[in-house]
Amino acid sequence: MRATVMYGAGDVRVETVADAGIVEPTDAVITVTHACICGSDLWPYKSMEQSETGRPMGHEAVGVVEALGADVGTLTVGDVVVMPFAYSDGACVFCHEGLHTSCLHGGFFGNADVGGAQAEAQRVPQADGTLFALPVGKDDALMPSLLTLSDVMGTGHHAAVATDVVSERGSEAVERVKELTGGFGAHSVLECVGLDQSMETAIGVARPGGSVGRVGVPQGETMPASQTAFYDNVTVSGGPAPARAYIEELLPDILEGKIQPGRVFDRVVRLDEVPEGYRAMDEREAIKVMVEP
């Protein structure tokens, strides 16, 4: 099958790899009908060291169930499903608490273990707990919006009501937010990208005693602007959004047309055009790129 592999910063290739197949009896294999490029895919795109073997990319998908392991009980071949960016059994103590990203039998997509979703097909471990069957056909007009349930909508939902749009970046953005908040900064800030620069901005716009909730995958081990955060008593907390936990809650609003999160996609590429999609997002020509393999 064809799949996207990143070999280093700026080096994304679409190549022929081994077909996705059932490994564990709890697995499913889906044919990917819609995938996308994530903001968190951009930081290896900027910084990944050159690798001989490369890393399969992609962790958000809608697809059609193609094969099922013997122990999968809730799905049928042909089901149209949304795949959140982390797999989970739906049964352990953390899944019951709604924290599926900490599942005792879980893990993340987009790596050598399970492969990536910017591909023609994807192996899905813990299929019963991970995949959510959608009540629509695979060509439904709502697909872009339904695809956002795999990550960006659930991640954003961890979130906010934005009353003013600040288009400035870096220190200019910090200045603008302080102007809007009487010179002090915001009580609550959401960091949704994970790059050092975005964390510096997020801590910069928080007022003393404020808090930064983060859902972007951090770029490094150490936290940027940690001295600013310390001296301003800024609380930083958060982690990966348990996107699986939010699907049931968010799906009705999408099906009823109340929200159209699919509008976040401002470019669509075929699988062979994925490297161009990375470049467009990296250079901010596109906000978020959808992939139709």
Biggest CA–CA distance in the chain, Å, is: 61
Between 103 and 212, whose beta carbon lies closer to Zn ion? 103
Euclidean distance between CA atoms 208 and 228, whole angstroms: 9
Between 47 and 102, whose beta carbon lies closer to Zn ion? 102
In the complex, least distance from residue 3 CB atom to Zn ion, rounded to whole angstroms: 27
Between 106 and 277, whose beta carbon lies closer to Zn ion? 106
Between 5 and 72, whose beta carbon lies closer to Zn ion? 72
Q: Which two tokens mark 11?
A: 């080096």
Between 89 and 151, whose beta carbon lies closer to Zn ion? 89
Euclidean distance between CA atoms 20 and 120, whole angstroms: 9
DSSP, collapsed to helix, strand or coil, labels residue 105 as: coil
Helix (H) or strand (E) holding 81: strand 80-83
**Which chain residues interact with Zn ion by CB under 5 A?**
88-89, 92, 95, 103
In the complex, least distance from residue 95 CB atom to Zn ion, rounded to whole angstroms: 3
In the complex, least distance from residue 191 CB atom to Zn ion, rounded to whole angstroms: 26
Between 59 and 100, whose beta carbon lies closer to Zn ion? 100
In the complex, least distance from residue 88 CB atom to Zn ion, rounded to whole angstroms: 5
Query: Residue 283: CB partners within 8 Å, gap ≥ 6?
Result: none
In the complex, least distance from residue 218 CB atom to Zn ion, rounded to whole angstroms: 23
Burial of 66 (0-12, 13-18, 19+ CB in 10 A): middle
Exposure of 13 in the CB half-sphere (CA atoms within 13 A): 12
Nearest to 77 by CA among 150, 140, 131: 131
Between 43 and 87, whose beta carbon lies closer to Zn ion? 87
Query: Residue 153: CB partners within 8 Å, gap ≥ 6?
Result: 145, 243, 246, 250, 261
Euclidean distance between CA atoms 197 and 194, whole angstroms: 8
What letter does residue 115 receive in the DSSP assignment? Answer: B
In the complex, least distance from residue 181 CB atom to Zn ion, rounded to whole angstroms: 40
